[in-house]
Structure 1
Amino acid sequence: MAICDSNAILSSSEKSGGLSKGKRCPHFGDFVDFSELHDLGFSRPLFTWHRGFLFEKLDRDLGNEAWISNFPNCMVSHLPKIKSDHHLLLLVLNLNIALLRERPFRFLAGWVEHSDFDYFLKKNWKYSGNISNSLGKLAHHLNEWNKIFYGNITTRKRDLIKRIANIQKRSDFSSSYRFNQVDLSLH
């Protein structure tokens, strides 16, 4: 299995825009064919790289028959671009796994910096003779306190990433549309 920035396309459908017509890179294409590698599939935009009016699928996920047999439900997502002209690739090995337990408690080091943390700790730490039960109650109070003072950071982060992705889609579509209009007017 390989996830890579190949800097090469395997078919003309993996390119849009630019001055030259998209052609398969013969060396990379021959390597993929000789190694009997297959695209694992993906979700979200077709093109993983773009600059100006040029869009290409340069980042890819490839696996052989053994990989596909062992991970038949794997899926690759093209994540939003943050500080690069490439989309990040996220590999999920098994889409059928469901966690039935609650998420484990995580103590966030930033909590101790909050001006009310010392007061909160004095008010909510009560040793009941059983350290596990006492820590469990404190963890519950900490989670509630975190929601009040910080909100759900994970949800806010996920929402911001969705907003960035939507802005990029509009920007990519707008760039592609402007290029196609210019391209049509040249003919």
Structure 2
Amino acid sequence: MGYKGYPFTWQRGNSPSTLIRERLDRMLANEDWCNFFPSWEIIHLPRYRSDHAPLLLKTGVNDAFCRGQKLFKFEALWLSKEECGKIVEDAWGDGVGEDMVTRLDLVSRRLSDWAVATFGNLKKRKKEALQLLNRLQQRSPDATTLEQCKEVSTNLDEIHKLVESYWHC
């Protein structure tokens, strides 16, 4: 089916002299499937903590929904900070006289802004780290590049620990 991104999906070795790369992982589809999903694409994502790169299959279905307005999601981790309740209380109070939808919108915007300032934008940090890892993995594999890949992977580990803490509150 083809692909976009780095051509190799498997890598073994940790130095330029022992490095082996191949395109082992692929996706297959028949003509009926391709006709049913005419906007499909396959993307080779960067390898992270594995010798295989994940493959992302995009079918083009619901692309308009994905580009729409961002939905508000309350995160359990926010409750670990006492000021969360104060943010809600203040925003709700500032909306007195407004209808319910307007007041809820105000609360959600204030909570979202507070969360980014307090916890950072983890999704953005993760996306940027993965993009950097992808660029590094597409370079010629010299010792410096391999070391930079290790550093970015360690940074991704820390980001993943923070993201995981959302689920443990």
Candidates 104, 126, 139, aligned match of 1:135:
104
Q: Give the direction of change, closer, same or farther, for the CA distance of 1:173–1:95 in structure 2 (3 Å limit).
A: farther
Aligned partners of 1:75 and 1:95 also within 8 Å: no
Structure 1 CA distance for aligned equivalents of residues 70 and 98 of structure 2: 25
2:141 to 158, 164, 173: 173
Residue of structure 1 aligned with 2:68, choices 101, 104, 125: 101
- Whole-Å separation in 1 of the counterparts to 2:62 and 2:107: 33
Q: Which has the larger radius of gyration?
A: 1
Q: Please name the residue that 1:48 is paired with.
A: 9
Query: In percent, how many aligned pairs have the same letter?
Result: 30
Structure with more relative contact order (C-alpha pairs < 8 Å, separation 6 or more): 2
Residues 110-125 of structure 1 correspond to what in structure 2 (within 5 A)?
110-125=77-92
Could you say which residue in structure 2 is the equivalent of 1:154? 123
* Greater fraction strand: 1
CA offsets 1:116-150 (integer angstroms, 9 cap, x no match): 21322222223657433322221121122223223
Preserved CA contact (<8 Å) 1:45 1:78: yes
Aligned positions, number = 135
Residue 76 of structure 2 corresponds to residue 89 of structure 1: no
SS for the counterpart of 1:125 is helix
- Alignment CA distance shift 1:54-1:95 (3 Å): farther
Unaligned runs of 5+ in 1: 1-39, 176-187
Which structure 2 residue ranges, 5 or more long, are not aligned?
Answer: 14-18, 144-169
Cα distance in 1, alignment partners of residues 84 and 120 from structure 2: 16
TM-score norm. by structure 1 comes to: 0.63
Contact preservation (8 Å) 1:49, 1:57: yes
More helix by share: 2
